[in-house]
Structure 1
C-alpha cells in the first residue's frame, strides 16, 4: 500500500489527467506499428505508419520543436471492412461499413518514462476512399482514417 502511494506521488501531475497543459510542445512525434508488424502485416503496417506520421505532422505542426517530451502513437489495430458500395441496410446504418484505427498515444520523457497514456479508437465510413472498385480506394481509406485519428488525438490531449 505504501509503495503504491509512493509510485503515484512520483508521477507528474498531468500524467493522471486526460489532457496536457495547453503550452505543451513535443521534441518529436513518432508512430509505432510494432503490434501490426508482430501480426505479420509488414508492408501494410508501413503504409499505416507513413499515413499516420504525415497526419500527425499536419495536426501537430505547431506543437513540435524544443526539449519537451516525445509523442509516440502506438497503433494496436486497423480494420478496413469490405465495402461494396452500400451505406444502408434496410433503411438504417450498417456498422460493418466502418473502418477502425485503434491505438494509444504515449507522452514520453527523455528518460523513457511514460508521462501520459491516452487510448483512442477512430471509426470512419468505409466509403471514405471513394469508389470501392478503384484500386486506390484502400490507400485513400487509410489516409482518411489516419487524418481522423490525428485530429481527434489533438482534441483528446486537450491541445485545441
Structure 2
C-alpha cells in the first residue's frame, strides 16, 4: 500500500514538474565553447523528500553512471558542473502486455516517466543555464513483469534513455 502511495506521489510530482518544464525554454543552456564540465552530478532530493528512498538512490546511481558514460569526452575540465535535478520519477504498475484495445509497441499506455532538469552550475553555485527534459519509456523495457529484477532494469533503462537524449539536446561545444 505504501509503495502505491509513493508511486502516486511521484507521478503527481512528475506531471506538475512537466507542466513547469513546458514553460521554461530549452534554449537556456549556453555553449561551453570548448570547455569541459568539471563534474556530473544527479540530485534526487525531491524524490527522497517524497519517500522514494532505495528507488531514488538506485536512480541516482544509474543516471550518474549513464551521464558519465555519455559525456565522457566532455568531462574533466575546469568549467561548470552539469547537475541533473530529478523532479519526478514514476514506474507504472506493469502487469504484462495488455493493450487496452490498442495495438502498439510497449503494451499500450503503460509508460515509466523521468522528469528532470539539467543545470549548468558555476563553481560559486550560480545556475548559468537550464534544460528541462521529460523522458517516457514503455514499462515493458524491464522484461517480464513477473521477474523480480524487472523493476530494477526499468530504472536502469529510463536512466540510460534520459542520458542519451540529454547528450543529444545540450550544446556540444
Smaller-chain TM-score bracket? 0.7 to 0.9
Q: CA deviation at 1:90?
A: 1.1
2: CA distance, partners of 1:87 / 1:149: 25
Larger gyration radius, structure 1 or structure 2: 1
1: CA distance, partners of 2:171 / 2:43: 22
- Structure 1: which 4+ aligned runs deviate by more than 4 Å? none
2:7 maps to none
Q: CA deviation at 1:39?
A: 0.8
CA RMSD in angstroms comes to: 1.9
2: CA distance, partners of 1:142 / 1:22: 33
- Write the mapping of 1:34-113 to structure 2, written as runs, cut at 5 A: 34-86=45-97, 88-93=99-104, 94-95=108-109, 97-113=110-126
Contact 2:112 2:138 in 1 (8 A): yes
- TM-score of the two chains, using structure 1 as the length reference: 0.84
Structure 1 residue aligned with 2:158, among 138, 145, 160? 145
Q: CA deviation at 1:89?
A: 2.3
Contact 2:29 2:128 in 1 (8 A): no
2: CA distance, partners of 1:135 / 1:89: 25
Decide whether aligned partners of structure 1 residues 54 and 48 sit closer, same or farther in structure 2, where only a CA change above 3 A counts. same
Secondary structure of 2:140's match? helix
Deviations 1:133-152 (A, max 9, x none): 00000000000000000010
Contact 2:35 2:78 in 1 (8 A): no
2: CA distance, partners of 1:45 / 1:136: 16
Q: CA deviation at 1:16?
A: 6.1
Structure 1 residue aligned with 2:140, among 119, 122, 127? 127
Decide whether aligned partners of structure 1 residues 21 and 39 sit closer, same or farther in structure 2, where only a CA change above 3 A counts. same
Q: Which runs of 5+ in 1 are unaligned?
A: 1-14
1: CA distance, partners of 2:57 / 2:27: 32
Q: Which runs of 5+ in 2 are unaligned?
A: 1-25
1: CA distance, partners of 2:29 / 2:99: 35
